[in-house]
Amino acid sequence: MDTHSINQSQANQSRGGALLLTSSVIAALGSFLFGFDTAVISGTTETLQHLYSLSDSMKGFTVSSALIGTLFGALLVGRPSDWWGRRPVLTVLAVFYLVSAVGCAVAWNWYALLFFRWIGGIAVGGASVVSPVYITEIAPARRRGLLVAVSQLNIVVGILAAYFSNYLVARLLGPEHPAVWRWMFGVEAVPAAVFFVASVLIPESPRWLMKKGERAAAEEILARFGHENPLREVDEIEQSLTSERVGGHQSLLHRKYLKPLLLVGMIAAFNQLDGINAVIYYTADIFRMAGLDKAGALKQSVIIGLTNLVMTVFAMALIDRVGRKSLLLAGSVTFVISHALAAWVFHTHAQGWIVIVAMMGIVGSHAYSQGAVVWVCINELLPNAIRASGSAAACFLIWLLCIGVSWAFPVVARNSGAPAFAFFAVMMLVQFVLVLKYLPETKGVSLEQLQKHLGVED
């Protein structure tokens, strides 16, 4: 190959890498809004409880109202993303985010607030499926872990942005201003509008195009994304989809999919049983339980968000080097230590820096292990034929457990958070054993090769 051809090839790969990163970041805006929408309510819980005279149980239900929407979003988004494509569904989800943000800001009563939070939950549930599926399907094997982790990074950045936004709104208006909670919700309309505009600019998933028989378009997009051998890759994808085309629609409950589905279910379940959302949704409440005033609790929430961000970036640097399994095992250990410390803190009614250390330990452990790995593993382990529907089922399980955790936590922790954190510590011990014994390492392996390794013969 002459020098001109080599330079041209390098230029094409460089442009492809830029497009790949840009498309991943745009798709991950759905995950940014996922993080923002789920965390923003943490700054409003005390006000809403007083405003609507809510019991602890009803406060938990108010927080969980969005999560009930996530069940619908996660469960129902798989089919539309298979019918219409990943990109159009991302655009529709952006509309849902926008409607939810504006609706919550102008909510005229508690029922209206619940409804618009539910609409936002549909968007969160859908984005938790489609954003990582899209990124998984456009990424080359050698960069897949890093790029899918961009989705998790955006969730974390969204959480931090929500905490920081809540803090700024409270500082500008005053924490006791009657409209402060409305502005906290309404700020989300800005990134939602950006997501809507940007989502129409990205290419469609090449694997979705292959499922629709558009081989030439899929090969072209793989080349535009800078894949080294698009022709060989479309051949592998076509081979993996052969049985689906010959045998018709593949049932998610087909026996050959049992092993990957069980592994995905295991990862999904522990993603909530690690207790992260008890901390994320009730960060300000937890710090108030530890003796801080409202403004101080919101400020400490920002520190928790920064910890989440730093440890997620740390995980992104490691995920394609040390692998997914190693991060989960290490995270299980630091989770057990952090939850045990939190249980001791609330059992002894300790205050001060030790509370922050315990919460930073829990959030940091999630960020570099379960948080970074969950969306990568789910979409790597699922075969091409059932990736969208299987991911939807896994996300449904995640959100179902999330509802249970977020609804039960304020009730269980009414007198002390110790029993809840002790339970989470035990769950992380169980995770360590099961991951060590059953989870295969997936780093650097093509999606089609993973299918064969898991005994799925398409």
Tell me how far apart the alpha carbons of residues 174 and 298 are, in angstroms, rounded to a whole number: 12
Tell me how far apart the alpha carbons of residues 312 and 331 are, in angstroms, rounded to a whole number: 12
Tell me how far apart the alpha carbons of residues 137 and 132 are, in angstroms, rounded to a whole number: 8
The count of other CB atoms within 10 Å of the CB of residue 154 is 26
Question: What's the mean per-residue pLDDT of the chain?
Answer: 81
Tell me how far apart the alpha carbons of residues 350 and 343 are, in angstroms, rounded to a whole number: 10
Which range has the top average pLDDT, 39-48, 112-121, 129-138?
A: 112-121
What pLDDT band is residue 290 in, cutting at 50, 70 and 90? Answer: low
Mean pLDDT check: name the lowest of 98-102, 111-115, 138-142. 138-142
The pLDDT value given to residue 248: 46
Q: Are 388 and 126 in contact (CB under 8 A)?
A: no
Residue whose C-alpha is closest to residue 361's, from 398, 336, 386:
336
Q: Quick one: CA dihedral 443, 449, 454, 458, positive or negative?
A: positive
What pLDDT band is residue 79 in, cutting at 50, 70 and 90? Answer: confident
Tell me how far apart the alpha carbons of residues 301 and 285 are, in angstroms, rounded to a whole number: 10
Average pLDDT of span 311-331: 87
Tell me how far apart the alpha carbons of residues 345 and 357 are, in angstroms, rounded to a whole number: 10
Say whether pLDDT at 136 is over 70.
Answer: yes
Return the biggest CA–CA distance within the chain: 76
The pLDDT value given to residue 15: 59
pLDDT digits (tens, 9 = 90+) for 21-66: 888 888 888 888 878 887 888 778 778 888 888 887 788 788 778 8
CA–CA distance from 202 to each of 16, 27, 154 (Å)? 13, 8, 17
Per the listing, tokens 């959100």 go with 399
pLDDT digits (tens, 9 = 90+) for 236-251: 777 766 655 544 445 6
Position 74, amino acid: A
Q: Are 128 and 391 in contact (CB under 8 A)?
A: no
CA–CA distance from 66 to each of 97, 100, 125, 156, 393 (Å)? 11, 10, 9, 18, 18
Tell me how far apart the alpha carbons of residues 446 and 228 are, in angstroms, rounded to a whole number: 13
What pLDDT band is residue 8 in, cutting at 50, 70 and 90? Answer: very low
The count of other CB atoms within 10 Å of the CB of residue 216 is 9
Residue whose C-alpha is closest to residue 374's, from 251, 456, 277, 244:
277
Rounded to the nearest 5 degrees, what angle is found at the Cα of 221, between the Cα atoms of 235 and 323? 70
The pLDDT value given to residue 435: 93
Q: At 294, list the tokens.
A: 């409202």
Position 93, amino acid: L
| Three state DSSP letters for 357-420 | HHHHHHHHHHHHCHHHHHHHHHHHHCCHHHHHHHHHHHHHHHHHHHHHHHHHHHHHCCCCCHHH
Domain annotation for the chain: domains and CATH numbers: 12-453 (1.20.1250.20)
Tell me how far apart the alpha carbons of residues 203 and 217 are, in angstroms, rounded to a whole number: 10
